[in-house]
Amino acid sequence: MTVQMSDGSASATAQLLLNTLRHPVVMIDSDGFIVQANAEAEDFFRSGATILARSRLSDFVPFGSPLVALVEQVRAQRVAINEYRVDISSPRLGPERMVDIHAAPVSEVPGAVALLLQERSMADKIDRQMVHRGAARSVTGLAAMLAHEIKNPLSGIRGAAQLLEHAVTDEDRALTRLITDETDRIVALVDRMEVFSDERPVERAPINIHLVLDHVKAAARNGFARKVTIVEDYDPSLPAVWANRDQLVQVFLNLVKNAAEAIGDRADGEIRLTTAFRPGIRLSVPGSPDRVALPLEFCVHDNGLGVPEDMRPIIFDPFVTSKQNGSGLGLALVAKIVGAHGGVIECESSGQRGTMFRILMPAWRGASGFSYGQEEETAS
């Protein structure tokens, strides 16, 4: 939307440039009216071009909002100012709207201020993803050390316990079996940690996510989720995801198993699997010089008890678990796999609505669409 531009071609070029930006950009005139906005701003302010053209910035934010005060400060001082983590939640914008604000005076238009808003929700996702990768690297080093320093002595302890089992009384034989079982448990834990040390590039192909979810659903219904209702809400026209099929199966098996355990013995237990296309999300990810689009959204919802509030910020860190006998490596491995695919994972949870794990992933660029029910090979 461009309201005040004299040259038609210049206006079109300026609008084209603005619309390439993936963040809301607006220009506020000296009277506080929104005189220019890009397409992202229309989505952000939940208003079309016509409504924005006759609205003031103050119409969208609460009275006394720091956003309005920042515009006034830039206008008065004629210098660019940045503010971070500013809450601009309002009935019109919605709850929990936290943004970084980049404001600068427009020298060619007296009293005008340009604003670029970056929602913190996406920035926080990127920050958390970097933390997950760092934590995974820490586990990688630990796993390599444990494999050498612990697994070899454990094999000797286990062998000695098996030999003793034939030379002791029945009462002591229970102790030797305990030693054997506990060494096996520790070795299994180290083996799970060693998965983090695999830094080979992910072998990918165009994958139909719905076939992956069907496989996971079948495994869950015949095992850990046999008493839970599993509901599907799929976008049938979803493009293929550019990923490794076996690793995706591992990711969703972990998430669905966690969901089933969170539900427990509830008679109305339900797990909902959803897929959707969300255009407009582009991130800078390691290993790629370009901003990567993450338009594919896959979610696992459950109506269980939810994740404790103090655990939500660290739920993807290694060794963090609320289960009595859990290792705390399942979700850490999920985050590592998603990160290795250039994706993002987040968790939303509350005691009333249960828990939702949301994964954003890149699509396969070789096809415009990929219908549910097709085999992976048909996309190539």
The pLDDT tens digits of the residues spanning 50-102 come to: 888 888 888 888 777 888 888 999 998 888 888 877 778 777 777 667 788 88
Half-sphere exposure at residue 108, Cβ-oriented, CA atoms within 13 angstroms: 4
Pairing assessment for the beta strands 98-105 and 205-207 based on DSSP bridges: unpaired
Pairing assessment for the beta strands 354-361 and 229-233 based on DSSP bridges: unpaired
Q: What is the CATH number of domain 123-197?
A: 1.10.287
CA-to-CA distance for 241 and 364, rounded, in angstroms?
5
Architecture of domain 205-379: 2-Layer Sandwich (3.30)
pLDDT tens for 232-245 read 999 988 999 989 89
Q: What is the mean pLDDT of the chain?
A: 77
Task: Please tell me the class of the 8-119 domain.
Answer: alpha beta
How far the first Cα of the chain sits from its last, in Å, is 40
User: Is residue 12 pLDDT above 90, yes or no?
Assistant: no
CA distances from 139 to 287, 332, 359 (A): 21, 10, 22
- At 146, is the pLDDT very low, low, confident or very high (cuts 50, 70, 90)? low
Half-sphere exposure at residue 245, Cβ-oriented, CA atoms within 13 angstroms: 13
CA-to-CA distance for 185 and 176, rounded, in angstroms?
14
In 3D space, the residue among 345, 346, 343, 376 whose CA is nearest the CA of residue 362 turns out to be 343
> Cβ(28)–Cβ(113) under 8 Å?
yes
User: Is residue 152 pLDDT above 50, yes or no?
Assistant: yes
Angle at CA of residue 80, ends 74 and 85, nearest 5°: 85
What's the pTM?
Answer: 0.52
Q: What is the pLDDT of residue 168?
A: 81
pLDDT tens for 187-212 read 776 666 555 555 667 788 999 999 99
8-119 and 123-197: same fold? no
Question: Looking at 23-27, 114-118, 241-245, 371-375, which range is the least confident one?
Answer: 371-375
Longest distance between any two alpha carbons in the chain, whole Å:
98
356: enclosing H helix or E strand: strand 354-361
CA-to-CA distance for 325 and 185, rounded, in angstroms?
11
Q: Is 159 helix (H, G, I), strand (E, B) or coil?
A: helix
User: Is residue 17 pLDDT above 50, yes or no?
Assistant: yes
**Better-scored residue on pLDDT, 329 or 344:** 344
Q: Classify residue 193 as left (phi > 0), alpha (psi -120 to 50) or beta.
A: alpha
If you count them, how many residues does the chain have?
380
Backbone angles phi, psi at 193, to 5 degrees: -70, -30
Q: What is the pLDDT of residue 368?
A: 45
**Better-scored residue on pLDDT, 352 or 295:** 295
- CA dihedral (263, 264, 266, 270) positive or negative: positive
Q: What is the pLDDT of residue 87?
A: 77
Domain ranges across the chain: 8-119, 123-197, 205-379
User: Is residue 262 pLDDT above 60, yes or no?
Assistant: yes
